[in-house]
């Protein structure tokens, strides 16, 4: 499956190096007061799609990334064991950038081709696999826009 996330560091701020620093265990925990809340957190994702549409890969698709945490999808627990995590630079209440949607569509299409067991029916938000614990990508993410004209068999 594919898990779609939203992340900004510090919260609500975009464009800096902090997300990459977090995913590579190099975040300066003292650089912002918010970081005390997440101090020592060790997380990763397979991909980050920046607001400008650029893509960074942190973990090979064939390896486990630590993005979903305690999670469950269709009765299967520990989603990190069988999922690909895609982070979108954004936050729950701020509309995602127009440039991110076609890139995300392209990435999902490529993953569905490379891994035929994945289909759009196996794409979920972090909020769906960890309800009550996580809210991302949040109400600002337009799921209909993601799927509008989306055909992963092309």
Q: Which of 87, 89, 91, 122 is catalytic?
A: 87
Can 37 be counted among the known catalytic residues?
no
Structure tokens at 24: 């590579």
Q: Whats the size of the chain, residue-wise?
A: 154
Which residues are tagged catalytic? 87
């Amino acid at each position: 499956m594919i898990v779609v996330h939203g992340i900004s560091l510090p919260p609500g701020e975009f464009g800096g190096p902090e997300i990459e620093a977090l995913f590579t265990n190099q975040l300066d925990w003292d650089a912002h007061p918010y970081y005390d809340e997440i101090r020592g957190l060790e997380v990763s994702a397979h991909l980050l799609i920046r607001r400008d549409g650029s893509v960074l890969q942190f973990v090979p698709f064939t390896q486990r990334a630590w993005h979903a945490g305690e999670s469950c999808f269709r009765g299967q627990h520990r989603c990190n064991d069988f999922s690909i995590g895609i982070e979108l630079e954004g936050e729950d209440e701020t509309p995602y950038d127009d440039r991110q949607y076609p890139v995300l569509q392209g990435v999902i299409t490529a993953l569905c081709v490379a891994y035929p067991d994945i289909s759009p029916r196996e794409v979920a938000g972090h909020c769906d696999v960890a309800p009550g614990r996580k809210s991302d990508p949040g109400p600002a993410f337009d799921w209909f826009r993601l799927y509008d004209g989306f055909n992963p068999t092309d």
